[in-house]
Structure 1
């Protein structure tokens, strides 16, 4: 196991994008900044055709960079774009259906883990990961304290990996890593400043290299 794989890693949440060429350029730029475990593509308000165009532009370059491409919400677009997986925010029943239909051929990750009870219910279905927070939940500089508490509790007792939504500040990755979470998700912290995504990814990885605890220590 490499040193990067032995500590909390970065997951990118793509910002709203409606132009496939611009989306390709933006995500490719971020991926040049360093290690990224996965990129999650939310649909936001795009119609099916527009979202599929964006997914088909972005998924191959994410995979070429060695990261997992996850489509949020629309299983048809995940399949058509040949994404690595599907991120499900629809609750336990929707998650159960997605796991039955697509796993193990496609990764299925679970959102909407709002508290310990819902997290344990989700965990019983054995998704590939559990996500604490909302994909657009980076409304403050720091991560939400509830998500940090859930991650610390989860990481101490459950083997299923967790992703925690970070804040708008790159430094939020440190607090999340110290919770024991396997992954930290960033959106505006990386993409808010045009042209700076690669620099932000490099900065996030440098902080994780320096300050993230190593699993098994």
Structure 2
């Protein structure tokens, strides 16, 4: 499962999302470099238009890099590609039935995450399947500078009331990480702000972690 080690990390952690389309050699270099910048909890291999064969081939290259960096490698939607590539888990948001099947097949050895629910009732129902995290934010929308208002409100609501960890998608600026961290979300997801920048990815990850360090969880007893 994706869990916080509260003895050492008492604030949100980074959840990287790959761009939907990319040059594998270029992304491999950036991803390898990113881990030099500090803590990364997870990397979601997000290729919504890829077939199982192409996704599996790509994952077989990326998964070892992610795992070597100490992060969990999650494959988007495709349980076959996730299983065959040795990924740590799968993100399933197609239907409640698909999610239940993934939970039954993958847990407890591997991670199952979900998201994309439109209603609070749906979010609670999907979380009841026993998923390891709930993702707030639309992966298929063009990113703006700030996180979507609904993402922020949903993450704040969830973090306050429920135990299942939640991930909240930030916008495409570094400043947006602070507003997402302030919701109390367990993980802050970033995509364009990392991959579309001309800066060294290790510097970006270091800056992101510094921002998150300033947002410790207020309800954890550190005594």
TM-score, structure 1 length as denominator?
A: 0.92
Equivalent residue for 1:43, pick from 36, 44, 47 = 47
Quote the residue 1:155 is aligned against.
Answer: 159
Query: 2:178 and 2:72 mapped to 1: Cα distance?
Result: 22
Structure 2: any 5+ residue segments left out of the alignment? none
Quote the residue 1:93 is aligned against.
Answer: 97
User: Over aligned residues, Cα RMSD in angstroms?
Assistant: 1.8
Quote the residue 2:134 is aligned against.
Answer: 130
Quote the residue 2:107 is aligned against.
Answer: 103
After TM superposition, where is structure 1 displaced by more than 4 Å over at least 4 residues in a row?
A: 1-4
For the structure 1 residues 64 and 44, does the alpha-carbon distance in structure 2 shift closer, same or farther, using more than 3 Å as the test? same
Q: CA deviation at 1:160?
A: 0.4
8 Å CA contact 2:52–2:80 kept in 1: the answer is: no
Query: 2:160 and 2:172 mapped to 1: Cα distance?
Result: 26
For the structure 1 residues 179 and 136, does the alpha-carbon distance in structure 2 shift closer, same or farther, using more than 3 Å as the test? same
Q: CA deviation at 1:44?
A: 2.8
Equivalent residue for 1:34, pick from 7, 17, 38 = 38
Q: CA deviation at 1:138?
A: 5.4
Q: CA deviation at 1:43?
A: 1.6
Q: How many residue pairs were aligned?
A: 217
After superposition, give the CA deviation of every residue in 1:91-142 in whole Å (9 maximum; x if it has no partner). 2111111111111121100112222111111111110000001224452111
Secondary structure (helix, strand or coil) at the match of 2:103 reads helix
Residue 186 of structure 2 corresponds to residue 182 of structure 1: yes
Residue 86 of structure 2 corresponds to residue 82 of structure 1: yes
Q: CA deviation at 1:76?
A: 0.7
After superposition, give the CA deviation of every residue in 1:1-28 in whole Å (9 maximum; x if it has no partner). 5675210111000113454333321211
Structure 1: any 5+ residue segments left out of the alignment? none
